[in-house]
Structure 1
């Protein structure tokens, strides 16, 4: 009976055929039971015929087929048959039920099925009204007896109580599951908030401590460059000032990342980014070539439009890829492909199948966390990274980064230095 659902609910259409088949089986089972009991009882007497009780029972059994769509109608038929049986027993004994029946039950024997569907499909007021009427009439409460009253109450109040209990239990389980899911979500949100607050605290400490020291260094270097008469000292001071300004700019980007929960890639590069010097992956390629590793560099676009943080991330990706190739792909050819765009950069580093076994000392020198830490760094700046073997036995690292760190502070930073 668990298939019964409220009318109009989203689960009604898929279970319509199944419920109808269940009702058909119940009608056949109870119909066979009624035939067996009535044929083993004395016949009825009077103008209604010798098997009037069987006709009434089968009438209710057949009406149950419409119970899913018309529960009140079927309940009314069962109540009418019960009332007719009670009145006939009082006014004309033997007319609609034998004077010595094999079963003492006044109600139609399929009444428990009707009560179950009533409670499940109808509002409580309607369901309880029909159930109460069937219980009062079917158990003969005005003249209770030990043979009739308990059976009548169990056939009406009993099924209703069971259905209400199961529904309440199902509702309780649903509420407990919802509460558990809400608690899990709240725990997750609290953990995320705690992590975010810790990141903000670290960002504040970095900003307060490092920005103060770096800004003093830049000011002193600028003053030294102005006051000194030595060209070499002025050149060194200018270099210190420029590098300190770069460090301040990167620190500002990193503090913005720590203060940001989500990242979105802007459509245009940050103003003034073209003025910032950035690490050039070509130096890494040159180092590898000088070490005897065949590396081909294919770069297109303007690298200077990237922010320092993004440029260093590109440098770090190429560095990690070349390092992995030296460790694990001895004798392989490596290709570094860089595509600089106004809205970001695409990095593709791939190597062919190694031609000889790797050096054991180099292969064991790593911590095994290079790619995972690199992926975390890429995600922090709003990019994506993919790494894995290629069909020809080589390895490939692909990353896509925005043009600059997508934070509110970097978007609002003025263009002048």
Structure 2
């Protein structure tokens, strides 16, 4: 949200806000110091080669005033109004000296056509960034009158006086307005880009919500019916084998319902809540998958590092599915190899790595062609859906490796029980 600067009744930016909007850096301060020293050296040179003042203040009165005003330029960024007042006072003193006491502060015959302090153009060119516009215009008008002498206009006084006062102010106001316009256009472009990003995020969230509703209304209903029928079959059947199979179907269907509820919660981007404790039966034990893989002739080693602690069921089930899919692919495509499953738990989540060696025998064509070919792609989508990262590819020395980096917790609306 961009805050619009406050403005005075005359339509000008508040002076306090203007002074805070510009923050000089070391480069600005450095060149301002060099300019002050250069103008001080210029005024001393004009004093040496020119005519001194002849009033009661002494021959160095004029150059002393000029050098003090030149050196005050160093403090312009810190005290802009004070320096502006000093410049105006110096111009009025020089005008009063010229009208009432010629030669007091301004030599009667000058080497230059400046009838205001020499540093005036530099000060006016910088004040557009430091004070409000109304004050700057009033200051410029007073100095322009002092420099141009409209009551006694001359070709060598009036034009040069306007060039040394009105021209620097006009140019500085133009460049300051241009700088503010560019800043405003840049802010508008950034705001439009942010709004476009928010609209795209809103559209994606709406699509996820619709998908979650379809999954909840259709798939969950069918799975619930399957679980109920399997449970009823296990109760009414007299055959032990049928009851065992029905119980297996009921248990797997219940686990599928739990996974589906968590997936629906992720799609809906449910509200944050405390993560529930993961029990052993909620997501499946990777050790069971390792034992199954070893029982069919694939020596598999399980390495678990760190403490799982309290983790989200969705993350645990995703890690379980990564191991399951990876070991299934090993059995299909790399018979005779050995595999290693590593789960590394840390504060930020869990890292899953499944790696197998080179196949020791050619794969069974029927078994290798039994899949849909989208297992790893679906696994990548599942990992990225909960904010994780997925990578899979062949090893340089042969074999294959699957890596997944999962977050510690994913809040779901229906999975928090």
Normalised to the residue count of structure 2, the TM-score between the two structures is 0.70
Residue 175 of structure 1 is aligned with which of 181, 184, 189? 184
Q: Distance in 2 between matches of 1:206 and 1:222?
A: 23
Return closer, same or farther for 1:79/1:183 CA change in 2, 3 Å cut-off.
Answer: closer
Query: CA deviation digits over 1:299-357, x for unaligned, max 9?
Result: 799x9x9999667534432244446768999987532346899xx987553457x699x
Seen in structure 2, the aligned counterparts of structure 1 residues 82 and 382 have a Cα distance that, compared at 3 Å, is: closer
Would you say the 8 A contact 1:300–1:339 is kept in 2? yes
Corresponding residue of 1:415 = none
- Which of 50-59 and 201-210 deviates more? 50-59
- Residue 133 (structure 1) shift: 1.9
CA distance in 2, matches of 1:399, 1:23: 55
Equivalent in the alignment of 1:187: 196
Give 1:201 deviation, angstroms. 0.7
Which residue of 1 is the match for residue 318 of structure 2? Answer: 313
Q: Is this contact kept in 1: 2:313–2:415, CA < 8 A?
A: no
Aligned mates of 2:345, 2:47 — CA distance in 1: 92
1:378 aligns with 2:387: no
CA contact (8 A) 1:279 1:311 kept: no
Q: Which residue of 1 aligns with 2:341?
A: 336
Checking the alignment, whether the CA contact within 8 Å between 2:290 and 2:300 is kept in structure 1 is: no
Report SS of the residue matched to 1:208: helix
Residue 196 (1) aligns with residue 205 (2) = yes
**Cα distance in 1 for residues equivalent to 2:106 and 2:311:** 96
Against the structure 1 CA distance between its residues 179 and 335, is the aligned structure 2 distance closer, same or farther, given a 3 Å change threshold? same
- Equivalent of residue 253 in structure 1, options 249, 262, 282: 262
| Separation in structure 2 between the aligned mates of residue 278 and residue 66 of structure 1, nearest angstrom | 73
Q: Please tell me whether the aligned partners of residues 40 and 67 of structure 2 are also in contact (alpha carbons under 8 angstroms).
A: yes
Mapped to 2, the partners of 1:85 and 1:280 lie a distance apart of: 92
Question: Any unmatched runs of 5+ in structure 1?
Answer: 413-417
* C-alpha contact 1:135 1:156 (8 A) present in aligned 2: yes
Cα gap change, 1:139 to 1:372, in 2 (>3 Å): farther
Cα distance in 2, alignment partners of residues 265 and 313 from structure 1: 19
1:141/1:347 CA distance change after superposition, 3 Å = same
**Contact kept in structure 2, 1:139 and 1:151, CA below 8 Å:** yes
Match of 1:137 in 2: 146
User: Cα distance, 1:107 vs. partner?
Assistant: 0.9
1:253·1:407 contact (CA, 8 Å) conserved in 2?
yes
Query: Which residue does 1:410 correspond to in 2?
Result: 415
> Normalising to structure 1: TM-score of the pair?
0.70
Provide the C-alpha distance between the structure 1 equivalents of 2:277 and 2:46, rounded to a whole number of angstroms.
Answer: 87
Find out whether 1:116 has 2:121 as its counterpart: no
Q: CA deviation at 1:111?
A: 0.7
- Retained in 2: the 8 A contact 1:385–1:399? yes
Residue 89 of structure 1 is matched in structure 2 by 98
Report the CA distance shift for 1:95/1:334 in structure 2 as closer, same or farther (over 3 A). Answer: same
What is aligned with 1:162?
Answer: 171
The answer on whether the counterparts of 2:227 and 2:249 sit within 8 Å (CA) in structure 1 is: yes
Moved more, 242-251 or 35-44: 35-44
Indicate how the Cα distance of structure 1 residues 11 and 211 shifts in structure 2: closer, same or farther if over 3 A, else same: same
1:151 to 152, 156, 160: 160
The 8 Å contact of residues 234 and 246 in structure 2, kept in 1 or not, is answered as yes
Q: Is the 8 A contact 1:296 1:334 kept in 2?
A: yes
Q: Does 1:296 align with 2:296?
A: no
Shift of 1:198: 0.6
* Separation (CA, whole Å) in 2 of partners of 1:325 and 1:241: 28
CA distance in 2, matches of 1:192, 1:256: 17
Q: CA deviation at 1:194?
A: 1.0
Distance 1:269 1:77, change over 3 A: closer
CA 1:267–1:389: 2 relative to 1, 3 Å? farther
- Residue 30 of structure 1 is matched in structure 2 by 39
Contact 2:53 2:61 in 1 (8 A): yes
Distance in structure 2 (CA, Å) of the matches to 1:20 and 1:232: 90
8 Å contact kept, 1:196–1:259: yes
- More moved, 104-113 vs 153-162: 153-162
CA 58–396 in structure 1, closer or farther in 2 if over 3 Å, else same: same
Q: Verify the 8 A CA contact 1:282 1:297 in the aligned structure 2.
A: no
Cα distance in 1, alignment partners of residues 75 and 44 from structure 2: 21
Give unmatched runs, 5+ long, in structure 2. Answer: 1-16
